[in-house]
Amino acid sequence: MELFSGECFFQARKQARTEQVAEYFSELATHLQSQGYQKAHFFLDNNTTHQGAMRSLFQQQSSHLSLQVTFHYFPTYSPKLNIVEYLIHLIRQQWLHHADYQQRLETVEEKLAQFLHQQVWMSQEKIVNILQHIQNLVLKT
């Protein structure tokens, strides 16, 4: 999720390998640079596909970019610190809760991707509120 606009970047895979994750972030970095950004901060959970090998592959694939990218990692088992988890909760409430349970997974993924690309899920105000909530959680510990 791009925090200034609320734009969602979505890609579904049954199993994401390190190479695919690096390629995804390289494509995202290219997009952000084309939008005029000079820096990007990617916040990730501690999934093994997000670790050192992915960063090395990402650096190789994005070496032509001038965009400065920094990867940040959430502590293990900390979904309350990850703004994407709030978006996932919103999607479950507003979309998946009403989805036909007999649909094939591929159909659900396709419809979800279309749905995410059709609208901004979170306003700037909602994003700021969630980030302030996360900051308060962090400062309490």
Average confidence (pLDDT) over 19-34: 92
pLDDT-derived band at 14 (thresholds 50, 70, 90) equals low
Exposure class string for 119-139: b at 16+ Cβ within 10 A, else e = eebbeeeebeebeeebeeeee
Angle, alpha carbons 72-23-37 (nearest 5°): 60
Whole-angstrom distance, CA of residue 70 vs CA of residue 106: 32
Q: What is this structure's pTM? A: 0.66
